[in-house]
Amino acid sequence: MKIKWTSYPYILWMVIFIVVPLALILLFSLTTGEEQGIANLKFTLDNFKRFLDPKYIDILWISVSLALKSTAITLLLGYPIAMIISREIPRKRNVMILLLVIPMWMNFLLRTYAWLTLLGKNGFINYIVTKLGFQPLNLIYNDNAVLLGMVYNFLPFMILPIYSVLTKIDKGLIEAAEDLGANKIEVFLKVIFPLSIPGIITGITMVFMPAMSTFVISRLLGGGQYLLIGNLIEQQFLWVGDWHFGSAISIIMMVFILLTMAITAKFDTDKEGGGSLW
Amino acid sequence: MKKNLKVLVIMSLVLIIGIISTGCGDKRPVINVYNWGDYIDPSVIKDFQEEFNVKVNYNTFTTNEDMYVSIKKGGTSYDVAFPSDYMIERMIHEDMLEKINKDNVPNLNNIEDRFLDLEFDPHNDYSVPYMWGTVGIIYNKTMVDDVVDSWDILWNEKYDGQILMLDSQRDSMAIALKKLGYSMNSRDEKELEKAKEELIKQKPLVYAYVGDEVKDLMVGEEAAIAVVWSGDAVAMIRNNSDLEYVIPKEGTNLWFDNMVIPKNAKNKEMAEKFINFMQRPEIAAKNTDYVGYSTANYKAKELLPKDITNSKVAYPIDKEIENTEIFKDPKDIIKLYDDIWLEIKAQR
């Protein structure tokens, strides 16, 4: 294959920032010894064997199920929102997308911190709840708070790809279906939904990946009581200093993400995939 | 057109490399300082920069382990760092620290004798004391009606969901070990196992395991009881007078944060100047007043207002701290500590 010279900077970029780091992680995950010199490294599979311990499998399971839950919720919330926005006139539509994106201009950490003051025992929500005469609710430092944090932070990543696919659907197809006697539900199930699958798949991948690897949300909203796979990796690299085990966990996580991508992509094989973001 | 593009690509590459390799135009020498978060009066850095005509690159860390890993494996070299006792012991043991030339740090004379020549650095060849303190319980008098004098209160089911623990493996383990009547430097596997069980038993009662957020949470009355370092307690009581700090009767941890020069330091001379500067009485007093922790510098202590130096939280009387232990580096059993902590955190 002949590569155009104008693409050299991008190839260079990809090698330095994608290929080399991935190769290093793979190398560390398969070795043991001091990281400073390649000569000190010894090949081993122990890092992966160590992960088979039930306590690590549990953490992986919790992370996968939380990520799946948050992906499902963002899809259930995001699809109707994307649908509503895509049906507005372009001027209104742009304003709505802008409103959706504006919170993302703010730092992710700051937005998550804001939830602390909203959900806290003496926070804003509980203030209203107690004013209305109810007992204060336990809103923070549990699974649901972590889930809420994920859904809140990743929702735009679900809406935007679905929205972009929906707006590109040829209106003629819908009209044709209606002309041929399909009712609204049939139009949705047989025309709109199948055509929007590429957007849904992109959305799922874009939500599932960060949800699987997050460690900030679980620490802030989970109160340090919830160890997700991202926290485990963070811990190995920053506190324990065992880069080999940390790399092995990263590889395992990447495999899981790839698996889900492969499964979701299966639904897309017989389609033409015209509107996908990828 | 094609030729123009080629020129453009090459130029932009040259530009990128140029930016990476030269840095900014600041000609002043640079010193990299690595300290705990919220642990210095920012104006002190400014004063130092002006007096010695250097640029201070100031970075912060949240735990000793965090600092250790980035000095050991990270690409940056630091000129001054602020580890605690047991971490200094480990760093000396692993030959990670530079010896300090005491002739360049005359202000070492301002340090109280009892903070010098401690076990982790017997002749202070490697470290100069900065702050010290204890670990204790802070509680809200309006929310707790039991007598708080023991670690047991942290296992009291009455305060379910109102207890905050430190997100730190060494401190949490120390509390459980002390509660059981063992040494916090225990190397006995059975004792450590029992301590682990205690912490797992306690977990359902714990509201959250926190770091610096503990200050906001306690001042904002989000929780009733928390484990804190003494200096943070001073700052919290300043902001909420319902809070009270107690050193439990089973004994606690006495800790010291010292200034050290890591082996890969690029500007050792300036690092010694910085350390000496930090222990000038008026500078040390400024820092102490700002951060709320207890200074090891007796000349600085004389300059501080009476309400600080009379505070039993920051400057406990000898009787209160006779029952304390200083952390030792777990050395070879560090892995056991890591595993235990992971198991506690993974428990649901």
pLDDT at B182 over 80: yes
Nearest CA in chain A to B10: A9
A55 in B contact zone (CB under 8 Å)? yes
Q: Which residues of chain A lie closer than 8 angstroms to B218, CB-CB?
A: none
Written as six digits, the tokens of A74 are 């963002």
- Amino acid symbol at A97: I
Question: Cα–Cα distance between A128 and A134 in angstroms, integer?
Answer: 9
Q: What residue ranges of chain A are covered by domains with CATH 1.10.3720.10?
A: 53-266
**pLDDT for position A273:** 47
Strand ranges, E, within B171-293: 206-210, 225-229, 243-246, 254-260
pLDDT at B9 over 70: no
Residue that has been written with the tokens 């991508």 in this structure: A261
Residues B100 and B138 in one domain: no
**pLDDT for position B22:** 56
Determine the residue among A126, A225, A228, A243 to mutate to test chain B binding: the one whose Cβ has the most chain B Cβ atoms within 10 Å.
Answer: A225
Out of A6, A35, A225, name the one closest to residue B209 (CB).
Answer: A225
Residues B244 and B337 in one domain: yes
Question: Cα–Cα distance between B177 and A65 in angstroms, integer?
Answer: 35
Q: Do B65 and A240 touch (CB under 8 A)?
A: yes
Residues B141 and B91 in one domain: no
Residues B186 and B230 in one domain: yes
Residues B126 and B244 in one domain: no
Q: Do B9 and A224 touch (CB under 8 A)?
A: no
pLDDT band at residue B2 under the 50/70/90 scheme: low
pLDDT at B130 over 90: yes
Task: Tell me the pTM.
Answer: 0.83
Q: Do A241 and B73 touch (CB under 8 A)?
A: yes
Nearest CA in chain A to B164: A223
Q: CB pairs under 8 A, 24+ apart, for B241-244? A: B242/B140, B242/B141, B242/B142, B243/B138, B243/B139, B243/B140, B243/B141, B243/B218, B243/B219, B244/B138, B244/B139, B244/B141, B244/B148
**pLDDT for position A81:** 95
Out of A9, A35, A239, name the one closest to residue B65 (CB).
Answer: A239
Q: Please report whether residue B117 resides in a domain.
A: yes
B146 in A contact zone (CB under 8 Å)? no
Written as six digits, the tokens of A181 are 């006697």
- Give mean pLDDT, residues B230-250: 92
Out of A121, A227, A238, name the one closest to residue B345 (CB).
Answer: A227
Q: What is the DSSP string of B239-270?
A: H-TTEEEE--TT--BEEEEEEE-BTT-S-HHH
pLDDT band at residue B8 under the 50/70/90 scheme: low
Q: Please report whether residue B329 resides in a domain.
A: yes
ipTM (interface pTM): 0.80
Q: Do A225 and B13 touch (CB under 8 A)?
A: no
pLDDT band at residue B11 under the 50/70/90 scheme: low
pLDDT band at residue B348 under the 50/70/90 scheme: confident
pLDDT at B211 over 90: no
- Give mean pLDDT, residues B66-88: 89
B345 in A contact zone (CB under 8 Å)? yes
Q: Please report whether residue B137 resides in a domain.
A: yes
**pLDDT for position A265:** 77
Mean pLDDT of chain B: 90
Number of domain units in chain B: 2
Domain of B53?
24-132+256-316
Residues B72 and B193 in one domain: no
Nearest CA in chain A to B222: A121
Minimum distance, in Å, between the CA of residue A219 and any CA atom of chain B: 9
- Give mean pLDDT, residues B305-331: 85
Question: Which residues, 6 or more positions from B46, have their beta carbon under 8 angstroms from its beta carbon?
Answer: none
Residues B195 and B294 in one domain: no
| CA within 13 Å, CB half, A60 | 17
Q: Which residues of chain A lie closer than 8 angstroms to B206, CB-CB?
A: 225
**pLDDT for position A278:** 41
Minimum distance, in Å, between the CA of residue A273 and any CA atom of chain B: 33
Nearest CA in chain B to A242: B69
pLDDT band at residue B52 under the 50/70/90 scheme: very high
**pLDDT for position A274:** 46
pLDDT band at residue B236 under the 50/70/90 scheme: very high
Residues B188 and B222 in one domain: yes
Determine the residue among B338, B341, B344 to mutate to test chain A binding: the one whose Cβ has the most chain A Cβ atoms within 10 Å.
Answer: B338
Residues B44 and B124 in one domain: yes
**pLDDT for position B24:** 53
B264 in A contact zone (CB under 8 Å)? no
Q: Which CATH number fits domain A53-266: 1.10.3720.10, 3.40.640.10, 1.10.10.60, 3.40.50.980?
A: 1.10.3720.10
Residues B83 and B162 in one domain: no
Of B247, B258, B215, whose CA–CA distance to B313 is shortest?
B247
- From first to last of its 278 residues, chain A has per-residue pLDDT tens of 567 888 889 999 999 999 999 999 999 999 988 776 777 788 999 999 999 988 899 999 999 999 999 999 999 999 999 999 999 998 999 999 999 989 888 898 899 989 988 998 888 999 999 999 888 888 889 889 999 999 999 999 999 999 999 999 988 999 999 999 889 899 999 999 999 999 999 999 999 999 999 998 998 898 888 889 999 999 888 888 888 999 999 999 999 888 888 888 777 655 544 444 44
Say which residue, B73 or B241, is predicted with more confidence: B241
pLDDT band at residue B175 under the 50/70/90 scheme: very high
| Domain at B50, CATH number | 3.40.190.10
**pLDDT for position A204:** 92
Nearest CA in chain B to A233: B342
How many other C-beta atoms lie within 10 A of the C-beta of residue A44?
Answer: 15
Q: Do A225 and B5 touch (CB under 8 A)?
A: no
The percent of residues above 70 in pLDDT, for chain B, comes to 92
pLDDT band at residue B23 under the 50/70/90 scheme: low
Residues B124 and B204 in one domain: no
Contact A68, A208 (CB under 8 A): yes
B68 in A contact zone (CB under 8 Å)? yes
The percent of residues above 90 in pLDDT, for chain B, comes to 70
- Give mean pLDDT, residues B168-197: 94
**pLDDT for position B281:** 94
pLDDT at B224 over 90: yes
A65 in B contact zone (CB under 8 Å)? no
Q: Which residues of chain B lie closer than 8 angstroms to A5, CB-CB?
A: 6, 9
Residues B82 and B196 in one domain: no
Q: Are strands B80-81 and B163-166 parallel, antiparallel or unpaired?
A: unpaired
